[in-house]
Chain A
């Protein structure tokens, strides 16, 4: 039982490049989330999904896009990377009555 798997763990992007952060869960959770955590700060919600085909914006969605074609996968797309997107990104999932299960995070640097 792998839980929530995020790839890659580290990535350096140049300004203007694009990339997709992958997130997969094997717990059949309906709810999935993407957070970013800036140095010394708490978690900010980027996007979330309550089921396949349904996504919604969180607190800081600008510069990101998501899709949810299956229950298992919830990729986060960065278009035209900017230095302000340098952060650690966490994917999480949950069932209805439980706490989050987090992925191990992706450390992204935009230079």
Chain B
């Protein structure tokens, strides 16, 4: 099975600053998808951003962008101009292109300091 590792259990950032959350994964597959999910205190799981492994261009969604390094099996999330509403648990996830299951990391708890 694939493994997803988030080595930062907790992170903090000053409001309006930039923070990067790390994620690495282990796979022998060449085609797959990577995701970042946000879980605020409400517990709702919200898809933040998605990256297809076959695309070299890094995905961007407004203030959220990724740094996808396929050879290094790294998939970090950058949050620019951090806002108080960004405070949440963030999960990195992996899915095979032809697979049925997602594999989640253990999460990074992000605190935004006013």
Write the residues of chain A forming the contact surface with B, with a CB cutoff of 8 angstroms. 31, 33, 37, 41-43, 45, 48, 50, 58, 88, 90, 92, 94, 97-102, 104-105, 107
Q: With an 8 A cutoff between CB atoms, is B104 at the interface?
A: yes
**What chain B residues lie within 8 Å of A99 (beta carbons)?**
33, 35, 37, 47, 50, 93, 95
Counting contact residues on chain B (CB < 8 A from A), the size range is: 20 to 34
8 A-B pairs with least C-beta separation = A102-B45, A42-B106, A99-B47, A99-B35, A43-B104, A105-B43, A42-B104, A42-B107
User: Interface SS of chain A: helix, strand, loop or mixed?
Assistant: strand
> In the complex, A58 Cα to B100 Cα: how many Å?
11
Write the residues of chain B forming the contact surface with A, with a CB cutoff of 8 angstroms. 33, 35, 37, 43-47, 50, 91, 93, 95, 97, 100-102, 104-107
Contact call B44/A42, Cβ cutoff below 8 A: no
**What chain B residues lie within 8 Å of A42 (beta carbons)?**
91, 104-107
Would you give the shortest CB distance from B59 to chain A, in whole angstroms? 12
